[in-house]
Amino acid sequence: MTTVVYPGTFDPITNGHTDLVERASRIFDKVILAIAASPRKKPLLPLEQRVELAEAVVSQYGNVEVCGFDCLLTDFLAQQQARVIIRGLRAVSDFEYELQLANLNRAMAPDVESIFLTPEERNSYISSTLVREISCLKGDVSKFVHPTVAQALKEHFKND
């Protein structure tokens, strides 16, 4: 059984992320959507809420599991007995950073491979950063995220 880990902060999970989860779920036996605590990034939403939102968004995929983690990705992979990382590439500008991460992960854990997937064109411009910014300014993000996520963001910013 091949288990793949799709790591990120998912702050919040977007339709682009969900697109990649769906693609990975068709290719691999088990997909773990690994949500990093990432306290140094100062996420907008707490880890527990990001996990809950992701679980709601990907619940239709029977071979997808959502986990929060707060350790090195390579350690998380070892804990999950996984050797494959999925990363998304939206544009050429993502490639250099993702290549650096893949090489670093391989240096730390030589048996780990990174596989890159691209989202559908209609999701290629969506980023969590842009979704947060639009939400902060009371804009409509319903085209970019699951309705559950849109509502959570609306609630988060309602008193700002």
- Which is the catalytic residue, given 25, 128, 135, 146? 128
Residue 63 assigned ligand-binding role: no
40 is catalytic: no
Whether omega for the bond prior to residue 119 falls within 30 degrees of 0, making it cis, is no
Find the catalytic residue in 30, 83, 90, 106.
90
Catalytic residue check, 142: no
158 is catalytic: no
Residues written for the chain: 160
List Cβ neighbours of 3 (8 Å cut-off, separation of 6 or more): 28, 29, 30, 31, 32, 80, 81, 82, 84
d(CA 65, CA 54): 9
Asked about 25 being catalytic, the answer comes back as no
Q: Is 2 annotated among the ligand-binding residues?
A: no
Annotated binding residue at 87? yes
Q: Which of 41, 122, 138, 143 is catalytic?
A: 41
Annotated binding site for substrate: 9, 41, 73, 87
Residues annotated as catalytic (active site), given as ranges: 17, 41, 90, 128
